[in-house]
Amino acid sequence: MYKVGQLAKQFSLSRSTLLYYDRIGLLSPSGRSEAGYRLYSPTEVDRLRSICAYRDAGLSLDEIGTIVENLEVPQREVLERRLEETSQNIRILQQQQQVLAGMLKVKASGTRLAKTGKQLWVEMFRAAGMDEAAMRRWHREFEQRAPEDHHAFLLSLDISEKEALQIRKLSTCMETNLMEMDFFFQLYEAVEKCAPSSAAETVRALQLLPDLPGEARVLDVGCGNGAQTLVLAEQLSGQIIAVDNHQPFLDRLIDSVKGRDLRAEVIPQLASMFDLPFAEQSFDLIWSEGAIYIIGFSEGLKRWRPLLKPGGCLVLTDMVWLRDNPPEELVSYWQANNPGMSNVSQRLAEAQTAGFELLDHFTLSSEAWSEEYYRPLRQQIAQMRKELAWNETAEQVFALTEEEAEIYDRFGDWYGYEFILLRK
């Protein structure tokens, strides 16, 4: 019997694809373990092998469902063998075609590309004989062996941090991921928060800080839609520069600021947290809720500390283990989705090594996850399903989000976000 992760790995598919197949009745597990894991028998493995062959041949899921339900197995096996032989010949011819076309294009232009974009990389992968399954395996292996290098590689292709993270999370090829990213951003642009948080706990963290200057200069890194930015602007006087590298998030923040009676001036700015365009000792306070994992905890501390004035404060939230010896399923899930995850003690030790003084820390409430974050996401998914009529690509994004929410429903007492308050 196979668990969903094992089956996904064997066929170079994302977990979300198998979850979607289960939802539409195309491939359902034989049962579940006592711990609730989906379990697939050899019969389902054979069925999935057929499904993958038909998908590669260009059949829709509706057409595939009709075939596997109505065509007798012996007849199917003969046709499938011939289909695979034909598909392999087509792939070889397409690869040769792309190599020759690429050579002609370069020869005719007489120029050299100054920068390699993601579309060119996809073409290069294909020219090297890699089909979509091979590209998925390449990204998966890169992610497992060197996640930070994989992230840096994706960023070098002019892919934003959020898109790079979603590519890593989806474990799919970049070409397929373009459409998935559209739905990912549609989902998160429509909700208030891009990570678990609550206004009350943002205020609590502020109240634990020593007094800030009357006109403080604040940097909100990875502000997303700006839910916490607005809370800071209500509580503080001065200027808040809210940085994100996805303009629609900043546009929403700009709209939210209009008509509000805020104490601080809010200045949205499009920028990468990997390359913040600010001089050293520019800020009294740096704030970052649910975003430091993008750059990595230690790397974030290293890059952001010089931007603080002497005695300036850094406040952040980061996902951590709250208990020892978490269940195997949970560890496997977060190793795939947040491989740098650690515990509170380790994070505090890293902060001290980076030259910070610990002021305080506390764990974000479960309500900030379930009610403030996942409930609106689930409501938005339900709305988008009505509008999209169960679009297959969108459904893969929805399935990943729902799986993450279900993981928290089951295991939320094992992990959470920790507010960490530091001083330079």
Task: Give the pLDDT confidence of 3-17 residue by residue, as tens digits.
Answer: 888 888 888 887 878
Task: Compute the radius of gyration of the chain from its Cα atoms.
Answer: 24
Compute CA distances 52 → 132, 221, 256, 295, whole Å. 12, 42, 45, 35
Q: Structure tokens of 89?
A: 């010949």
Q: Give the residue from 31, 5, 32, 30 showing the smallest Cα distance to 18.
A: 5
The one-letter code for the residue type at 193 is K
DSSP string, 229-284: HHHHHHH--EEEEEEES-HHHHHHHHHHHTT---SEEEEEEE--TTS----TT-EE
In this prediction, residues 80-97 reach a mean pLDDT of 67
Confidence class for position 269, pLDDT limits 50, 70, 90: very high
Confidence class for position 176, pLDDT limits 50, 70, 90: very low
Name the region of 118 (left: φ>0; alpha: ψ -120 to 50; beta: rest).
Answer: alpha
Q: pLDDT per residue over 271-327, tens digit each?
A: 988 889 999 999 999 999 999 988 889 999 999 999 999 999 999 999 999 999 999
Q: Give the residue from 140, 162, 142, 158 showing the smallest Cα distance to 150.
A: 142
In this prediction, residues 237-257 reach a mean pLDDT of 93
Residue 32 has pLDDT above 90, yes or no: no
User: Alpha-carbon distance 306 to 278, whole Å?
Assistant: 10
The one-letter code for the residue type at 224 is G
Q: What is the dihedral of CA 283, 287, 291, 293, to 10 degrees?
A: 80
List, in order of start, the domains of the chain with CATH numbers. 2-70 (1.10.1660.10), 199-423 (3.40.50.150)
Q: Give the residue from 210, 225, 208, 212 showing the smallest Cα distance to 290.
A: 225
Spacing of C-alpha 187 from chain mean position: 13
Q: pLDDT per residue over 365-409, tens digit each?
A: 999 999 999 999 999 999 998 888 777 778 888 888 999 999 999
In this prediction, residue 111 carries a pLDDT of: 44
Q: Give the residue from 278, 271, 263, 265 showing the smallest Cα distance to 254.
A: 265
Q: What are phi and psi of 220, to 5 degrees?
A: -105, 105
Choice between 338 and 140, residue whose per-residue pLDDT is larger: 338
User: What SS3 state is found at 375?
Assistant: helix
In this prediction, residue 35 carries a pLDDT of: 74
Residue 143 has pLDDT above 90, yes or no: no
